[in-house]
């Protein structure tokens, strides 16, 4: 039992870091699970990979609770309207992934959850990050606040998020990349990606839990709660560090990291498979 808990701690750390950085949590999970094998059914692991993200999402809820709370007594009427405006744009941005994810999530997992797809998407989006950041170098962002973001822009970013149905793409990577292409500042792109994750991940987790059922063994419950708790703690640190980093830096370092990881994933499975 203790060994399984240690494994859950390791995966919680991986999830807490990779969920927010645009480097693909799925790619890292596939690689880590090659070395860490749980004594659990594949049905449980399929649910665990998604529901562990609830811990990471709660970090966003905690860090941005005041900003996202339209009923905060300390807010003026205007601030409350601005908060509702953010939520409206989040809902608009979530719609494409909510609809298409509900319809095709299992199909994408069945056909694309493999190292070949993950390696290709890691490298492809890594190159895109580098190319787009080089292209935008020195150009001022046209969208520097949520007030500047139109509903159409929010919807288009939402369609970029749909790309993350393909494993290895990275949900945060797809949304941040799409937002930057549309002229959004890095800080707003990152924050909007965080906010989109709240309804998306709550919905995905509820769906996976419903499909799995709620008949957990004691060990399964311990593993799940441990992974979620660790992901929550690590996410608090990772989000703060990311926001601090992008104040004065671009996303190219994550592009290079993705390319290197994609090559390593390909090499590992080619030679070990």
- The burial of 251, by beta-carbon neighbours within 10 Å (0-12 exposed, 13-18 middle, 19 or more buried), is given as buried
Domain encompassing residue 253: 2-272
Question: Distance between CA atoms of 218 and 39, rounded to whole angstroms?
Answer: 13
- Per-residue pLDDT band at 33 (split at 50, 70, 90): confident
Task: List pLDDT tens digits, range 197-227.
Answer: 999 888 888 888 888 887 788 888 899 999 9
DSSP secondary-structure letter at 163?
G
Tokens of 242: 């990311």
Q: How many domains does the chain have?
A: 1
Task: List pLDDT tens digits, range 133-175.
Answer: 999 888 899 999 999 999 999 999 999 999 988 888 898 999 9
Q: Is 138 left (phi over 0), alpha (psi -120 to 50) or beta?
A: left
């Amino acid at each position: 039992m203790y060994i399984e808990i240690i494994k859950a701690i390791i995966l919680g750390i991986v999830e807490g870091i990779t969920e927010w950085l645009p480097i693909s949590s799925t790619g890292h999970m596939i690689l880590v699970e090659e070395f860490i094998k749980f004594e659990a059914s594949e049905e449980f692991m399929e649910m665990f990979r998604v529901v562990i993200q609830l811990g990471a999402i709660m970090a966003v809820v905690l860090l941005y609770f005041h900003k996202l709370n339209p009923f905060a007594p300390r807010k003026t009427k205007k601030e409350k309207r601005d908060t509702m405006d953010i939520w409206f744009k989040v809902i608009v941005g979530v719609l494409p992934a909510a609809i298409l994810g509900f319809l095709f999530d299992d199909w994408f997992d069945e056909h694309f959850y493999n190292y070949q797809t993950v390696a290709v998407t890691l490298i492809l989006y890594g190159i895109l990050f580098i190319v787009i950041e080089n292209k935008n170098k020195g150009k001022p962002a046209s969208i520097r606040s949520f007030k500047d973001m139109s509903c159409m822009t929010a919807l288009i970013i939402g369609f970029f998020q749909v790309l993350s149905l393909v494993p290895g793409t990275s949900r945060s990577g797809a949304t941040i990349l799409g937002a930057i292409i549309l002229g959004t500042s890095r800080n707003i792109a990152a924050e909007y990606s965080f906010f989109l994750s709240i309804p998306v991940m709550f919905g995905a987790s509820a769906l996976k839990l419903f499909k799995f059922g709620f008949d957990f063994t004691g060990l399964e419950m311990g593993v799940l709660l441990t992974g979620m708790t660790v992901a929550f703690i690590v996410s608090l640190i990772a989000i703060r560090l990311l926001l601090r980093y992008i104040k004065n830096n671009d996303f190219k370092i994550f592009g290079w990291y993705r390319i290197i990881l994609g090559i390593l994933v390909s090499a590992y499975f080619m030679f070990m498979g």
